[in-house]
């Protein structure tokens, strides 16, 4: 029975590309020119933190579709944070690397 539980947990984390953030501070890691996880679901009022774990490259977080300004560039070992006060789905991208995309889903 124990191995079945471990298998289920393994499947949930490897098959589902969407992370659901609990009560802790939601975190998106940037590594190898990817937002990890690419999609995250949070509760309204939470703040997402993007941490740059690259060796040399800078990035930004830009909610362009919302008409917002691009964030300042942040370099390795730096971060960017944003609080989400409204529900909905919010796509974003890296300004200098438009192939890097992500989405934040905000629920009640």
Q: Return d(Cα 65, Cα 67) in angstroms, integer.
A: 5
> Token pair for residue 22?
């609990």
Given a cut of 70, whether residue 102 has pLDDT beyond it is yes
Tell me if the pTM is above 0.75. yes
Q: If we measure between CA atoms, which residue out of 96, 99, 86, 106 comes closest to residue 34?
A: 99
Per-residue pLDDT band at 14 (split at 50, 70, 90): very low
Identify which has the larger pLDDT, 99 or 14: 99
Fold of 18-107: Immunoglobulin-like (2.60.40)
């Amino acid at each position: 029975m124990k191995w079945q539980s471990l298998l289920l947990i393994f499947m949930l984390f490897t098959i589902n590309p969407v992370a659901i953030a609990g009560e802790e501070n939601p975190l998106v890691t940037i590594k190898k020119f990817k937002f990890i996880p690419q999609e995250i679901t949070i509760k309204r009022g939470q703040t997402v933190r993007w941490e740059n774990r690259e060796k040399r490259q800078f990035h930004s977080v830009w909610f362009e579709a919302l008409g917002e300004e691009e964030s300042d560039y942040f370099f390795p070992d730096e971060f960017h944070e944003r609080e989400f006060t409204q529900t909905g789905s919010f796509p974003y991208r890296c300004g200098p690397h438009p192939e890097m995309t992500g989405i934040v889903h905000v629920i009640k």
